Amino acid sequence: PRPILDMSYSRHFLDFQGSSIPSFMKKLVVTKLSQNFREAVTLRQDSPVPLPGDGDLLVRNRFVGINASDINYSAGRYDASVKPPFDIGFEGVGDVVALGLSASADFTVGQAVAYLKAGSFAEYTVVPAKQAVPLPSVKPEFLTLMVSGATAYVSLKELGELSEGKKVLVTAAAGGTGQFAVQLAKKAKCHVIGTCSSDEKGGFLKSIGCDRTINYKTENVESVLRKDYPEGVDVVYESVGGKMFDLALNSLATKGRLIVIGFIAGYQSPTGLQPIKAEFLPAKLLKKSASIRGFFLNHYLSEYKMALKHLLEMYERGDLVCEVDFGDMSPEGKFTGLESVFRAVDYMYMGKNVGKIVVELPHSVNSKL
């Protein structure tokens, strides 16, 4: 057991590898509200390393996750009262390098943790101990579960009413959260259809159990659905918006359910939306006794810990594929360091990723010797 470091009187302390925790660090800060991530966000080189309070952990981030909603956050769409400058990034995995006295009841220096909290695009983040998830090791796969896996799990459990034989359509199925919607629907013994933008993604989807893949670049999604599923689909897990939303709505079966978890097609536009054909919406829903439900993870945090526990157990047992995309195939190579977050966001909006986009933050250890 390591001595607990009381941070109240010390500005300079040692981490568990015997290296100094620096006084300053790099982090990304939203300095201007814009749906253009590069315009909105600035890389600060000399931000003070924050000090953990009594119930807090100081986490040295090793992997951070990229989410489509990072752009909504930098555009100020989630909370109009928050004014720049503010920290960005929703999730991280790393090591506890210091902690407050109360926090030491449940955590120790050197422990691997994951967390869901704004401000992860930084070398160090203070995380309330009660929000941290202890992990067996620091692995990027665990990061895929924090937002993406939990979104798929909770939304399908709470709103999907999945049962054996139901037909489930997952849009952007090879993405960060789509990969989990496909696998969880398969585990519920559903017939799963996934849309994607390349044959490579189609191959990945088949490998995780997708029954029918539709490459929307080479196939007409509407025609395929009309021909192969004339009765319609029972559940749609929808994250694209715009034309894909219209198409999904039209493809619903009687008593079908469309779950909106996002609309990435519009996030980079000034309004955040792409137009949909909504004027016939009441008639379409009535005709099929169908429903549309929105899902935002923050409204279901009471279910979060249970969902995450279950997902972690599934992964540990080998029952869940957690595909990570480090951008190795991107033009400038792997996403390493906070400066590559900008590239990683671009990569996601170009629809290049297979699985969850993760950025690695390497840390040099300055030995005292």
* CA proximity to 289, closest of 237, 324, 252, 259: 252
Instruction: Note the pLDDT of residue 20.
Output: 66
**248 or 19: which leads in pLDDT:** 248
* Residue found under tokens 């990061």: 143
233-238 and 167-170: which strand pairing? parallel
- pTM higher than the cut 0.85: yes
Q: Mapping DSSP to helix (H, G, I), strand (E, B) and coil, where does residue 19 land?
A: strand
Instruction: Note the pLDDT of residue 364.
Output: 56
Shared domain for 152 and 133, answered yes or no, is: no
Residue 317 lies in a domain: no
32 touches 40 (CB < 8 A) = yes
Residue 15 lies in a domain: no
86-87 and 24-30: which strand pairing? antiparallel
Expressed as residue numbers, the domain containing 243 is 146-299
Shared domain for 290 and 338, answered yes or no, is: no
Q: In which band, very low, low, confident or very high, does the pLDDT at 163 lie, cut at 50, 70 and 90?
A: very high
| First vs last C-alpha separation in the chain | 23
Q: Give me the percent of the chain exceeding a pLDDT of 70.
A: 93
- List the CATH number of the domain containing 267: 3.40.50.720
* CA proximity to 288, closest of 253, 318, 339: 253
Instruction: Note the pLDDT of residue 23.
Output: 86
Q: Give me the percent of the chain exceeding a pLDDT of 90.
A: 85
* Residue found under tokens 């939203």: 30
Residue 304 lies in a domain: no
Shared domain for 88 and 178, answered yes or no, is: no
Q: Mapping DSSP to helix (H, G, I), strand (E, B) and coil, where does residue 152 land?
A: helix
Instruction: Note the pLDDT of residue 19.
Output: 52
Average pLDDT of the chain to the nearest whole number: 92
Q: In which band, very low, low, confident or very high, does the pLDDT at 170 lie, cut at 50, 70 and 90?
A: very high
How far, in Å, CA of 171 to CA of 3, rounded? 50
Instruction: Note the pLDDT of residue 12.
Output: 38
How far, in Å, CA of 226 to CA of 233, rounded? 10
Shared domain for 125 and 159, answered yes or no, is: no
Q: What are phi and psi of 137, to 5 degrees?
A: -165, 170
Residue 3 lies in a domain: no
Q: What secondary structure, in 3-state letters, does 179-242 show? A: HHHHHHHHHCCCEEEEEECCHHHHHHHHHCCCCEEEECCCCCHHHHHHHHCCCCEEEEEECCCC
pLDDT in tens, 284-321: 999 999 999 999 999 999 999 999 999 999 999 999 99
Residue 365 lies in a domain: no
Instruction: Note the pLDDT of residue 89.
Output: 98
Shared domain for 179 and 295, answered yes or no, is: yes
Instruction: Note the pLDDT of residue 13.
Output: 43
Q: How many domains does the chain have?
A: 2
* Residue found under tokens 């009687």: 254
Q: Is the pLDDT of residue 2 over 80?
A: no
Q: Is the pLDDT of residue 7 over 90?
A: no
Q: What are phi and psi of 354, to 5 degrees?
A: -115, 110
Shared domain for 130 and 154, answered yes or no, is: no
- List the CATH number of the domain containing 43: 3.90.180.10
Both tokens of 344, joined, read 């990683």
Q: Which residues contact 340 (CB under 8 A, 6 or more apart)?
A: 327, 332, 334, 359
How far, in Å, CA of 97 to CA of 119, rounded? 17
Shared domain for 115 and 41, answered yes or no, is: yes
Shared domain for 128 and 165, answered yes or no, is: no
Shared domain for 41 and 125, answered yes or no, is: yes
Please give the average per-residue pLDDT across 97-119, as a whole number: 91
- Asked, as a colleague might, if the bond just before 85 is cis with ω within 30 of 0, I would say yes
pLDDT in tens, 200-252: 999 999 999 999 999 999 999 999 999 999 999 999 999 999 999 999 999 99
Shared domain for 47 and 178, answered yes or no, is: no
The count of residues in the chain is 369
Shared domain for 293 and 155, answered yes or no, is: yes
Report which secondary-structure segment, H or E, holds 46: strand 41-48
pLDDT in tens, 26-63: 999 999 999 999 999 999 999 999 988 889 999 999 99
